[in-house]
Chain A
Amino acid sequence: MALIAGGLGPALVLACTRDPVNRLVGVQLATAVVVVVMLVVSVISRRSYDLIVPLAFVPLGFAGTLVFTRLLSGSDE
């Protein structure tokens, strides 16, 4: 609960306010917090097969953030 309220809440606020770069920082922070939350939930619920979700989420979040970084940079090639 502390992770969700204290970690994910501010990250979502950051992801919804201000300019696009700050929002992207918030998205990246939310990604990391969600991965940690999913790790904890999967161990607490004794369902180890749920660990595939954060395992897939990390590379997808990595690629997605890089895509948004590229889009926001506005470089023409």
Chain B
Amino acid sequence: MTHDVSLALVAAGTVVVVWSSVASMLLFRGSALRRLHLLTPVTSLGAPLVGAGLCVQEGWGLTTGEIILVVGLLFLSGPVLSAALGRLAAQQEGLVAKSDSE
């Protein structure tokens, strides 16, 4: 039962990650701003699903704590990086002034 739940969670996370990667390569050719929409599901949904599946498989312990820490860091840093990259892409496309620091 535990193994089945773990496998389902990891499989779901893998589907999200693979789908986001493939779609970001194939769709929105040339537009980095639109491509960023496909980057966030990897850090906000795919990685937590995979991490949850691995935690269920491992059970309570230090390994699970470390997995939660890694996934948590990835979860928090993903939107920040997407915002920074989005701002850079907007500057490159002329939507935001380059001298605007706010």
Assign chain A's interface to a size class: 35 or more
Question: In the complex, what's the smallest C-beta–C-beta distance from A14 to chain B, in angstroms?
Answer: 5
Q: What residues of chain B lie closer than 8 Å to A22, measured between beta carbons?
A: 30, 32, 35
Q: Which residues 80-101 of B have a CB within 8 angstroms of A? A: 80-82, 84-85, 87-89, 91-92, 98-99, 101
The one of A21, A33, A59, A65 that contacts B92, using a Cβ cutoff of 8 Å: A21
Question: In the complex, what's the smallest C-beta–C-beta distance from B49 to chain A, in angstroms?
Answer: 10
Q: Are A25 and B32 in contact (CB under 8 A)?
A: yes
Residues on A facing B (Cβ under 8 Å): 2-3, 6-11, 13-14, 18-19, 21-22, 24-26, 28-29, 32-33, 35-36, 39-40, 43, 48, 51-52, 54-55, 58-59, 61-62, 65-66, 69, 72-75
